[in-house]
Amino acid sequence: MSGIGATSNYVKSLQNQYRYNYADTVAYKGFNTAVNPLYAKKGESGDGYVNSAGAGYLGDIQKAGKTFDSMIGKVRDVSMYGQTQAISGNTDALTIHGDSRPDADFSNASVAIHALAKGQANTSNTKRTNDIYEGATGYQQFEIEVGGKTTQIGLEIQAGSTNKQVMDQIASAINSKNIGVMASVSSSHGESSLTIQARGTGDDANNQFVLRDLTGGFEGGMVEALSLNRITQEAQDARYSVNGEEFASKTNTVDIGNGVKVTLKAITDEEVEITEGRDTGGIKQTMKDFVEAFNELYEIGLSNAGSNAKLQQDLVEAYNAFYKDMENVGITMSSDGLKINEDKLDKAIEDGSLEALFTANGATGRPNVSTMYSFTGRLGMIATNAQHNAATYAAAPSSSGYTPATSKTQENNYNWENDTGSTINKNNFNLNIYNNELTLGYFMDMLG
C-alpha cells in the first residue's frame, strides 16, 4: 500500500517509537554497560558515566542529526521545486554560470560572441625534438617583464642537451617563479615547441610580457635561439552583444543582467538564445544531498545496531511507510541506506510527483508536512529527537549535575534527581494521541 494517506499502516507504538527509552540507552555501544547501567543514582556504588567512545557516538548523532534536519527543511520547502535557471541554446559557444538565478525581470536574451578574452601567448620556433640544442650552454640567464615587473631566471644548460630537454628546463624554471605567465612544452611527430602564456585574460599590461637574454654571446641565448619573443596571440578583451547592445570584458565570464552570468566559449556566427526553465539540476543535487545526509545518520545507527538498533529501525520504518511512493520517485532502500535511480528521479521532478511527496503541496487530502503522517514530518521527528536525546544523555552527568532516578525502566516518564533530592521531570520525548490528533509537545515548535 502506498504510504501517503495510509496512516494506519505507519502509526504504531506512537508513545515510544520516536524517542530513545532510558532502558534502551544503557545498551548504546561505547557506554560503560558491562555491570552497571549508564548512569547510577548518586551515592550508589559504581556510579556510571559516558566514556570517551560513548561521547563520540552521541556527538556523531548530534552532528549528523543536525545536518539531516537541515536537509529535511530544504526538501520540504515548496520554493525549492519552483527554482528556475537560465538555459543556453548552444553550450559549445556559451554556458550558464553555476550560481546564476534569473530574477523576476528576466526574459529571453540573444547573445552574439565576436571575440574571446585572451592573454598574450608566445610560441617558440618548432624544433626537432631529439636534435642537439644549438644555443649557448653552461649557466645561462634571461629575464621576463610582466606588467612592468622584471624577473630574472637562470639555469644550467648541459652540452649535448636536446631541444626538448632545454625547453623542459625553461618551462620548469618559469613555472617555479609563480609570476604572471606559465609555460608548457608540446611535442608531436618528432617536433617540439615551447609556449609561454599570460595567466590572465584581457587587453591589460598585466597580461602582456617580453623576454630578454642576459647571457649567450655569439652562440645566442635561450630567447634568441628558440625565438621566445614570437607573439602568437595578442592580449585582447572579449567582445559580445546582448539583444543587439555591444559590450566588452577582460574576462570570458560576464553578467548579462537580471541575475544571469554566462561564460563565453567560442565565437558564433549566429546568436545564442538564453531561455528560462526549471532548475532540474539544482533540485536533483538537493535530493542527492538529502540522501547523503540520511545515509550518514543511518550509518551511525547501523554501525551500532548490535548494541542498540533503535535509530536504524526508526529510519527504516519511516522509509517503509512510504516505500511505494519513494520507489516511484526513484529513491529506494538497501542495506547501505538510500539509493537514487536518476532516470526515475528526473521523471518525478518533471511530473511534480517528487514535490507532492516531499511537500504535500497542492494535493487534496495530503497531510501537512510537519506531521508524522508525511515522510518528511516523520523523518523530522526522528532527527530532532535523536539530536535532543543524544545531547541530553551526553551532557547530563557531567554538566547539569543530574543523574537518573533509581527507576530506570519507565517507558513514558522518568525523573532526574539533583544533589538535594529535588526532581526535574524530563518527559519531553513522548508522542501521544489525543482525540486522534498527534501532538509533539516539546518538539512541535522546533518542527514548525
Residue 185, beta-bridge partner list: 194
Count of CB atoms within 10 A of residue 412's CB?
12
Same domain for 249 and 291: no
The SS3 assignment for 440 reads: coil
Asked if residue 42 is part of any domain, the answer here is yes
The pLDDT score that the predictor gives to residue 16 is 30
Asked if residue 174 is part of any domain, the answer here is yes
Backbone torsions φ then ψ of 356, nearest 5 degrees? -60, -40
Asked if residue 182 is part of any domain, the answer here is yes
> How confident is the model over 272-289, as pLDDT tens digits?
999 988 888 889 999 999
Same domain for 101 and 245: yes
Same domain for 165 and 91: no
Total number of domains in the chain: 3
Same domain for 161 and 112: no
For the record, the C-alpha cell of 324 comes out as: 511505494
Same domain for 420 and 363: yes
**Which range marks the domain in which residue 91 is found?**
84-117+237-278
Residues counted in the chain: 448
Query: How far apart (Å, rounded) are the C-alpha atoms in residues 114 and 386?
Result: 58
Same domain for 242 and 113: yes
Count of CB atoms within 10 A of residue 199's CB?
13
Same domain for 204 and 247: no
Asked if residue 1 is part of any domain, the answer here is no
From residue 110, alpha-carbon distances to 2, 123, 275, 278 in Å are: 47, 36, 9, 19
Asked if residue 205 is part of any domain, the answer here is yes
Same domain for 304 and 255: no
The pLDDT score that the predictor gives to residue 381 is 77
Same domain for 314 and 180: no
Same domain for 256 and 146: no
Q: Secondary structure of 132-192 in the HEC alphabet?
A: ECCCCCEEEEEEEEECCEEEEEEEEECCCCEHHHHHHHHHHHHHHCCCCEEEEEEEECCEE
User: Which pLDDT tens digits describe the chain residue by residue (448 residues)?
Assistant: 333 333 322 222 222 333 333 333 333 332 222 222 333 333 333 344 444 555 677 778 888 989 998 999 899 888 888 888 899 999 999 999 876 778 878 888 999 999 999 999 999 999 999 999 999 999 999 999 998 899 999 999 999 999 999 999 999 999 999 899 999 999 999 999 999 999 999 999 999 999 999 998 767 899 999 999 999 999 999 999 999 999 999 999 999 999 899 999 999 989 999 998 888 888 999 999 999 999 999 998 888 766 667 778 888 888 888 888 899 999 999 988 999 999 999 999 989 889 988 886 434 344 444 444 577 777 877 787 777 666 665 554 443 333 333 323 222 222 333 333 333 333 332 222 222 222 233 333 333 3
Same domain for 228 and 152: yes
Among the three residues 233, 267, 294, which one is the final residue of a domain in this structure?
A: 233
Q: Judging by beta carbons within 10 Å of its beta carbon (0-12, 13-18, 19+), is residue 222 exposed, middle or buried?
A: buried
From residue 34, alpha-carbon distances to 8, 301, 404 in Å are: 39, 21, 18
The pLDDT score that the predictor gives to residue 3 is 34
Same domain for 416 and 302: yes
